[in-house]
Structure 1
Amino acid sequence: MTSFSQRHKVLAAALATVFIGSGHANAKHANAKQANTKAEVEVDESVPITTFSQAYKAYTSSIKSGKYSPNDLAQVAKLTYQLGRAKFGPRHQNTFMLQQNLANAYLEAGEYKLSAANYESVIDYHEETQGDESQAYYFALLDIISLIYSANKAKKLSARELGISQFSRKKAIVKLFKVTDELVVKMPENSLMFRGHTVKTAVINQWTEKDNRLLNMAKKYNLDAKKNLGQDSSIYIESLAYVGKVYFGMQKYKDARCFFEQILALPQAQNNEINPIEIIAHAHLVSLYARKKETKNAIFHSQTIAKIKPWDPKQTPLYTVPATFPPANISRANKASVILTCDISMQGQPINIRITGSTDADFDKFALKCLRQWYFVPKFIHGAFAVVADVNLTIDFLRE
């Protein structure tokens, strides 16, 4: 399975033999191995790009190198799409593949509304030509969900504000579940890929509905991985983590803990290599034990992360609690911000907490109470734990 961005790199490589230096296009029979070779070209930026072949060569070279400005890539993708549209025609399959590249480039550049308009055109084409339960529609839907997530995270833009209200977060993921089930029936040999992409997408988008659709799919993904790849495979271990994450999101903490502990009991987790899935398991166990006030266990897992992961001064907390508003007889304010400075102990807990700024003093003690419950990854250097001094944090209070 490949990630969102990797899918587009694979697509670009697969299409390179189709588009670069060819007199005709047949995307269905592109040879990805040859494409990788042909995509390795040097682009002379002093020569104006006037043909589709030149434009696509510049685009694939940028993608393959990974050394590009998102805004520059968007401009090259736009030119490639325009020249390709003129070459192949407005309703040709290749034209919509190029438009999908353009939508992805706009997404990387943070041009979310332009990205949405182009993704919408692509998915409408796939629905019209192949149906809304096709593989092409499925991957276009994954892209749209990723777009909505990114736009909301970066600029708080909703699907409606992007002009694609028919793909609101809930509607899109419900549709994704339906399309996934249909594709698994049609192509059972690819069930691992489809279920894996869907589970990851739903978890990333924090799907927390209490029905069992996501849980059932995550369990099937886990079974597919075990059956097809075996318990020693990284995909199987990853699938365990996703089942744990789904249980965690459903607040079924006992079940979640079982899956995360199962990961740590595997032989692969006993070596000294940095394993992202192992870190995920430890991080969730910190949260699970902190919720139960089992401080000793929470500290054990936070310190274990410190031993296997390099110290990051810009880390996010392993565990937080939401800030509690003062009672109405103290303050009726709907928002406030409290700036705090603290040290991070060798156990990963905030100590020596100081208020260094506040928009409303009535909120200060509630911010202090909140921060005391947090957990961080402690600093582990030269074989020993160390206190981290003067970490600055802001706790925002906002009544919805």
Structure 2
Amino acid sequence: MKTLLRLSIAAAFVSHVAYAEPTDVEDFSQAYQQYNASVESNNNQDTLKYAQQAYELGQIKFGQDSFDSAKLAINYANAVMVEPKKKNQGRVIEDEATLKAHQLFTSALAVYRENVTDNGIELIDPLIGLAESTTDDKYAKTLLFEAIEIAEKADNELTVAEVKLITFHRLSRTEYYTRTVRTLAFDAYDIYTSKLPEDAIKRVDATYLVGALYETMGKPTQAITNLVEVIKQYRALPYSHPYELRAHALLVKLYEQKGLGDKATEHCIAIGKMTPWSDQQEQTPLFRKPPKYPQSYAQRRKSGWVQVEFTVDENGFVKSPEIIDSKGGTQFEKESIEALSQWRYAPKFVDGKPTEAKSTVQLDFTIG
């Protein structure tokens, strides 16, 4: 995940080294200007290139252990962290780039601690960067909760919300994901709701996150309320936000679980009309209802399986299911076809347009 705070990205440089060569100063100024320009244009490749140049030349100009060099190190580390990272179940795997960023953040934080007053808000940037570049989840938790404490003492609610969301996302797929960590997402949502307009993208993203959490917590009514609000706001955007598609998908599941098939259908159709996040998106299951186990077969402890081919249409509905093969009896086949008719999918997209696509599935019937 990218570091969301960029407290040092446009830092002013005020210290000087008396013995810097003029050419070094000129080269540094040019590299730093090009770095800022690449940030403005969202050119990640050039940002990385010039962040490295500015950092290396800045060490000559300001000194390796100077506060200004530490700021440049954070800019360089942030640029490194933007590069795609290998992940394993949501956790960052240490690679050469991640290790480089980790080293830069570590050295920068040490200098920041020497130059910034206790609990100074400037510490948040290197703390978060170090937490996101380390593979040590326990260490990341310590750093992030320190950042939260600093933000709260600085009495800046929006920064508190930002840091709490970063902490939630960093720890949510680790062994340190607890109810306390989950609550951080709700805290951020409450702050954004009170401080930002309803169409602010940060507020809408937090609304989606809380809706998804309500769904996992078994609170469908609250989940539906949040997700409907998400769709209302994202619908006004000139593009399809990935959370919009996910919100529709969760609503399909929630409405089907509540027995509200007509409402689920509305969101299936809406997905079919969307521009997907990926132009070449395969059909994706949204709701699958397991087939009933034929009572007469269960009494005889009869097991089997059914292989079915079917079409997912442009709106995500199952059409024309056909038995490919089966074992165990015709009742297994009948229950499989009946269950499949209630399944819902996000359709396949080709060149950004929904299209029909074939799919197959095997349904297993076993007695535990």
TM-score, length of structure 2 as denominator length: 0.63
Partner residue, 1:219: 186
Take 1:187 and 1:318, find their aligned partners in 2: how far apart are those partners?
Answer: 45
Q: What do the CA deviations read for 1:97-139 (whole angstroms, capped 9, x no partner)?
A: 1111221233334522212221222233334544785423322
For residue 140 of structure 2, what is the amino acid of its counterpart?
Answer: A
Structure 1 residue ranges without an equivalent (≥5): 26-46, 149-158, 160-164, 322-329, 331-339, 355-367, 394-400
Tell me, yes or no, if structure 1 residue 389 matches structure 2 residue 365: no
2:357 aligned counterpart, secondary structure? strand
For residue 143 of structure 1, what is the amino acid of its counterpart?
Answer: G
Structure 2 residue ranges without an equivalent (≥5): 18-22, 86-96, 289-302, 323-335, 362-368
- Residue of structure 1 aligned with 2:279, choices 312, 315, 318: 312
Take 2:235 and 2:101, find their aligned partners in 1: how far apart are those partners?
Answer: 44
Tell me, yes or no, if structure 1 residue 97 matches structure 2 residue 74: no
Partner residue, 2:122: 136
Conservation of the 8 A alpha-carbon contact between 2:67 and 2:112: no
For residue 347 of structure 2, what is the amino acid of its counterpart?
Answer: P
Alpha carbons of structure 1 residues 283 and 137: separation in structure 2 relative to 1, 3 Å = farther
Conservation of the 8 A alpha-carbon contact between 2:347 and 2:355: yes
Q: What do the CA deviations read for 1:199-249 (whole angstroms, capped 9, x no partner)?
A: 255246535867432443333333323333354655443432232233345
1:137 aligned counterpart, secondary structure? helix
The structure that is helix-richer by fraction is 1
Conservation of the 8 A alpha-carbon contact between 2:189 and 2:206: yes
Take 1:221 and 1:258, find their aligned partners in 2: how far apart are those partners?
Answer: 18
Take 2:4 and 2:179, find their aligned partners in 1: how far apart are those partners?
Answer: 30
Alignment of 1:95-174 (within 5 A): 95-109=69-83, 111-130=97-116, 133-147=119-133, 159=135, 165=136, 168=137, 170-173=138-141
Partner residue, 2:157: 191
Partner residue, 2:51: 77
1:278 Cα deviation (Å)?
A: 4.5
Aligned residues: 309
Identity, % of aligned pairs? 23
Take 2:37 and 2:160, find their aligned partners in 1: how far apart are those partners?
Answer: 29
Take 2:189 and 2:49, find their aligned partners in 1: how far apart are those partners?
Answer: 41
Alpha carbons of structure 1 residues 229 and 60: separation in structure 2 relative to 1, 3 Å = closer
Take 1:289 and 1:295, find their aligned partners in 2: how far apart are those partners?
Answer: 6
- Residue of structure 2 aligned with 1:344, choices 288, 292, 312: 312
Conservation of the 8 A alpha-carbon contact between 1:49 and 1:55: no
Conservation of the 8 A alpha-carbon contact between 1:317 and 1:374: no
Take 1:102 and 1:214, find their aligned partners in 2: how far apart are those partners?
Answer: 29
TM-score, length of structure 1 as denominator length: 0.59
Partner residue, 2:347: 378
1:319 aligned counterpart, secondary structure? strand
For residue 314 of structure 2, what is the amino acid of its counterpart?
Answer: M
Alpha carbons of structure 1 residues 78 and 225: separation in structure 2 relative to 1, 3 Å = closer
Moved more, 127-136 or 213-222: 127-136
Conservation of the 8 A alpha-carbon contact between 2:287 and 2:344: yes
Conservation of the 8 A alpha-carbon contact between 1:74 and 1:105: yes
Pick the structure with greater CA Rg: 2
Superposition CA RMSD, Å: 4.7
Conservation of the 8 A alpha-carbon contact between 2:285 and 2:345: yes
- Residue of structure 1 aligned with 2:148, choices 177, 180, 186: 180
Take 2:195 and 2:64, find their aligned partners in 1: how far apart are those partners?
Answer: 41
Partner residue, 2:365: none
